[in-house]
Amino acid sequence: MKIVASYSVKGGVGKTTAAVNLAWSASREHRTLLWDLDPQGGATYLLQVKPRVRGDAHDLVRGTADLADVVRSTADKRLDVIPAHDSYRVLDLELDATKRPERQLAKMLASLAKRYDVVILDCPPGMSLLSESILTAADVVVVPLLPSPLSMRSLDQVTAMVAAMKRRRPTIVGFLSMVDRRKTIHRDLAERLPRESANVLPVVVPASAMVERMGVERAPIATFAPRSVPALAYGALWAGVSAALSR
């Protein structure tokens, strides 16, 4: 079972959008689960899954509830979801109360290893014990980068966090998110970043009303606009992630 985290220290950069579209692509060829780790529940909403009542952060972390018991199916039979839960606001505190917080998420996910080939984690923004536990569990960390000079900083922050890890380190895969080709700085950075950083794929997701429509359709973009530029870009992103997973 391979674990892919959609993560950034920064908020609002396209993590949830990427997680949902990557999960859809992955599920075309693999048994796939998306775990919505953000109490905001964006991915849960986009995949039309009801928020969960049972199995709060405390029970899951302590092992009195099993992750397998809180899995829901989606409208698409090939894709399952663990919906968000309000209690994920205190996931950090729950992890902190365990012996090895940084390894706890990987431990919890181990019970799903026989059921799924790919697990996509939609992560809340920030830098916390939860992020540490996510990075430790992940094989690949997908980092959406806005085309601004500050975005390199957010990639550097993830790189530094990964470099500080003692054991297994995930592969970092950056891509450009919300690029507006009418802006010179966006065009420049979209070309430069993949050239200058080995961790950034030459995948550019344009800023597009079609992506925003996901919130109305409540579905991955490939299901309602399969030949649109952003849908093809997310397909290319999955191809890049998939290649990184098999390395």
Ligand X SMILES: Nc1ncnc2c1ncn2[C@@H]1O[C@H](COP(=O)(O)OP(=O)(O)OP(=O)(O)O)[C@@H](O)[C@H]1O
- Where along the sequence are the contacts to ligand X (CB under 6 A)? 11-17, 38, 42, 125, 177-178, 205, 207-208, 211-212, 215, 230
Which residue's CB is nearer to ligand X, number 64 or number 148? 148
Name all contacts of 231-237 with Cβ < 8 Å and 24+ positions apart.
Answer: 231/21, 233/203, 233/204, 233/205, 233/206, 234/18, 234/21, 234/22, 234/24, 234/25, 234/205, 235/25, 236/201, 236/203, 237/18, 237/21, 237/22, 237/25, 237/142, 237/175, 237/201, 237/203, 237/205
Q: Which residue has the tokens 């090895």?
A: 100
Part in contact with Mg ion (CB under 5 A); list of ranges 21-29, 36-44, 113-121, 193-201: 36-44
**Shortest distance (Å) from residue 82 CB to ligand X:** 16
230 binds Mg ion (CB under 5 A): no
Q: Which is nearer to ligand X, 12 or 63 (CB)?
A: 12
| CB of 208 vs ligand X, minimal distance in Å | 5
Report the nearest approach of ligand X to the CB of residue 131 (Å): 12
Binds 178, which of Mg ion, ligand X, none (CB < 5 to 8 A, cut-off by type)?
A: ligand X
Residue 202 binding partner per list ligand X, Mg ion, none, with a CB distance cut-off of 5 to 8 Å that depends on partner kind: none
Does residue 42 interact with Mg ion by CB under 5 A? Answer: yes
Nearest to 233 by CA among 21, 20, 31: 21
**Number of residues in contact with Mg ion, rule: CB under 5 A?**
3
- Complex with ligand X: residue 8 or 27, whichever CB lies closer: 8
Which SS3 state, helix, strand or coil, does residue 198 take? coil
In this complex, which beta carbon is closest to ligand X, that of residue 92 or of residue 166? 92
Give me 199's structure tokens. 């961790």
Chain centre to alpha carbon of residue 79: 15
Residue 12 binds which entry of Mg ion, ligand X, none, with Cβ cut-offs from 5 to 8 Å by kind?
A: ligand X
**Is 10 among the residues that bind Mg ion (CB under 5 A)?**
no
Rg (CA), the chain: 17
Rounded CA separation 108/236 (Å): 30
User: Do 34 and 79 touch, CB atoms closer than 8 A?
Assistant: yes
Closer CB to Mg ion, 44 or 208, in the complex? 44
CB 150 within 8 A of CB 178: no
Q: Which residues bind Mg ion (CB under 5 A)?
A: 15-16, 42
